[in-house]
Amino acid sequence: MSTTQKIDPSRIPSRTLNSGDKMPAIGLGTFGSDHVTNETVAAAVKTAIEIGYRHIDCASVYGNEVEIGATLKETISSGLASREELWITSKLWNDKHAEEDVIASCKKSLADLQLDHLDLYLVHWPFPNFHAKGCDVSSRSPDAKPYIHENFMKTWRKMEKLVELGLVKNIGTSNMTKAKLELVLADAAIKPAINEMELHPHFQQAELYDYVVSQGIQPVGFCPIGSPARPERDKSSDDTVDTEDPVLQEIAAKHGLHPATLCVKWAEQRGQIPIPFSTNPRNMYANLESLTIEKLTVAEMEAISQIDQNCRLIKGQVFLWKDEQTWEDLWDLDGTIAQ
């Protein structure tokens, strides 16, 4: 795959993290939603770097770090981008929270990605829980547990150790709530540099977003386009579709953008780092280019802030630990951590 349309990476904004590191303000997602092959995702990573992306959002659970690693090796050895120019994130999966598993899991991702360090390593979810890849949302692990802060901190200490060992430059959280983050911030020796969270115009999470920013943590927004190709198991009948929103469609038309691209542009202008997935070079280019064109007006940003539907798409049902629970129990809606 190759493309002639490129953007000089120096034109892409970056965000300075609480560690002082600068992180590119857009990344390429690499979760192929279970229907795109690992080879296709790895080829998309190469195309993205050719186009001008310098930040790739990986995770061990996506099952494609070996293929992405081969791409990264080729990218670096061919001189397309140096290791220093690239920002590579990976994530600790839920069945590897045990103290003895954290460093080994990170080393496995490093070996698969053919890297000697990661720029960012995240605890993917705050729940320790094994469930088979691709399992139905009704599937429950007999060993599933609620968030137990003492246990999470044991995992976090090992995340901190990874920084000390030089294997990881920054550590962060994902799928957290304000209630859980408050506890972590009180006890962490190294504060999370970022929190990766679902963020798109129909799910803006204003309260959590504002809290994260107020604590000096950079939000990274996943499913920035509303994940239109997410697996069937993650769809429910009352989910809304961001790209069909008339307000977004009207603003997109004014700027000559696809509504999907507007979602990405809005995200970066609001302040989160969007990580859109794409295997289509035209879409990858449009998403990257959107950060370099004229800004949305204050009135347009205000109009988009009003279309939030509080529509969480990645509900996390497989993490539930009791039969009578609903997915809302995972998200501490009343400010207390369900046990």
Ligand X SMILES: NC(=O)c1ccc[n+]([C@@H]2O[C@H](COP(=O)([O-])OP(=O)(O)OC[C@H]3O[C@@H](n4cnc5c(N)ncnc54)[C@H](OP(=O)(O)O)[C@@H]3O)[C@@H](O)[C@H]2O)c1
Residues with catalytic roles: 62
Contacts of 207 (CB under 8 A, 6+ apart): 178
Shortest spacing between CB 279 and ligand X, in angstroms? 4
Window contacting ligand X (CB under 6 A); options: 2-10, 93-101, 220-228, 317-325: 220-228
- Give the residue from 20, 102, 99 showing the smallest Cα distance to 60: 102
57 binds ligand X (CB under 6 A): yes
Cβ distance to ligand X smaller for residue 162 or 275: 275
Q: Are strands 14-16 and 22-24 parallel, antiparallel or unpaired?
A: antiparallel
Residue 22 CA, distance from chain mean position: 17
Residue 105 or 261: the one with the smaller Cβ distance to ligand X is: 261
Secondary structure tally for the chain: helices H, strands E: 10, 10
What x/- string results for residues 113 through 142 when contact with ligand X is judged by CB under 6 A? -----------x------------------
Taking the complex as a whole, how short is the minimal distance between the CB of residue 199 and ligand X, in angstroms? 10
- C-alpha distance across the termini of the chain, in Å: 49
Residues contacting ligand X: total by CB under 6 A: 30
Interacting residue with ligand X among 5, 108, 144, 228 (CB under 6 A): 228
Is residue 287 a contact residue for ligand X (CB under 6 A)?
yes
Q: Which residues pair with 273 in a beta bridge?
A: 220
Instruction: Compute the distance between CA of residue 156 and CA of residue 190 in angstroms, rounded to an integer.
Output: 9
Q: Is 292 in the site for ligand X (CB under 6 A)?
A: no
Determine, following the binding rule CB under 6 A, whether residue 196 of this chain makes contact with ligand X.
yes
Task: Based on the shown chain and the rule CB under 6 A, indicate whether residue 30 belongs to the binding site for ligand X.
Answer: yes
Strand partners, 257: none
DSSP for residue 150: H
Among the residue ranges 68-76, 96-104, 159-167, 271-279, the one whose residues contact ligand X (CB under 6 A): 271-279
* Measured distance CA(176)–CA(50) in Å, rounded: 33
Region from 6-14, 105-113, 130-138, 256-264 binding ligand X, contact rule CB under 6 A: 256-264
Among 230, 265, 270, 312, binds ligand X (CB under 6 A): 230
- Cα angle value 166/172/175 (rounded, 5°): 150
Residue 232: CB minimum distance to ligand X, A: 13
Residue choice 105, 173, 175, 272 for contact with ligand X (CB under 6 A) = 175
- Which residue from 54, 76, 276, 312 is in contact with ligand X, where contact means CB under 6 A? 276
User: Who contacts 45 (Cβ-Cβ below 8 Å, separation ≥6)?
Assistant: 28, 30, 56, 68, 71, 72, 75
**Is residue 229 within the footprint of ligand X (CB under 6 A)?**
yes
Site for ligand X in 59-98 (CB under 6 A): none
Which residues on adjacent β-strands are paired with residue 173? 123, 195
Beta carbon nearer to ligand X, 122 or 337? 122
Quick one: which H or E segment has residue 22? strand 22-24
- Contact flag: residue 147 with ligand X (CB under 6 A): no
241 counts as binding ligand X under rule CB under 6 A: no
Indicate which single residue of 258, 270, 312, 315 sits in contact with ligand X (rule: CB under 6 A): 258
Of 43, 83, 88, 90, nearest to 62 by C-alpha is: 90
Look at residues 4, 196, 207, 1 and name the one whose alpha carbon lies nearest to residue 89. 196
Q: Footprint of ligand X on this chain (CB under 6 A)?
A: 29-31, 57, 124, 174-175, 196, 222-230, 258, 260-261, 275-280, 283, 286-287, 314
